[in-house]
Amino acid sequence: MRSSLTMVGTLWAFLSLVTAVTSSTSYFLPYWLFGSQLGKPVSFSTFRRCNYPVRGEGHSLIMVEECGRYASFNAIPSLAWQMCTVVTGAGCALLLLVALAAVLGCCMEELISRMMGRCMGAAQFVGGLLISSGCALYPLGWNSPEIMQTCGNVSNQFQLGTCRLGWAYYCAGGGAAAAMLICTWLSCFAGRNPKPVILVESIMKNTNSYAMELDHCLKP
């Protein structure tokens, strides 16, 4: 089985898959922000949360210890986090599409040319940029009441209060940076240049096909 990628291209495909999976997994895991509420640990992502308060008997608050996403898009605590959810999700989807095409290029001949590889690298740069923008928007939502209750009521935009950033936030940002810097650069050398012999054979084949069709049409 011949590949349409060079040796550098094979490395690019592997790193593309790693960065896409890392960023996408981090996007879905609710471990971007850690805090505490009512003596219980609480964690958030952009659209998911682990452990949340509900009113029990006698109108007292109790903590439900489970993870889940917000009931609706509008239930996400702040506009900044809503924007972060959309932007980061779009970036992850773009990285996953490029990674899938890159992996297929390892198994299929003539799928990815030198120019196609560079175009895919440009798409990776855009995907990484979108995820990075989402990470930059995330601190703008730390002043919402829900987050302030978890962070000692002293958090604000770009001020964590008693909370701390989680490992998933760093993994999402690190995957985006690797996609923008490393994968984009490697993509410039990923695809093989088309061989002149293959080009000539393709042109001759098309020419013969057109000639046969024309001859068929001209016959009485």
pLDDT band with cut points at 50, 70 and 90 for residue 147: very high
Mean per-residue pLDDT, 189-195: 75
In which element (H, E) is residue 131 found? helix 114-137
Strands (E), 25-124: 33-37, 40-44, 48-55, 61-69
The pLDDT of residue 54 = 85
- Is 198 a residue whose pLDDT tops 50? no
Q: Per residue in 14-31, pLDDT tens?
A: 999 999 999 999 999 999
Distance (Å, whole) CA 180 – CA 8:
17
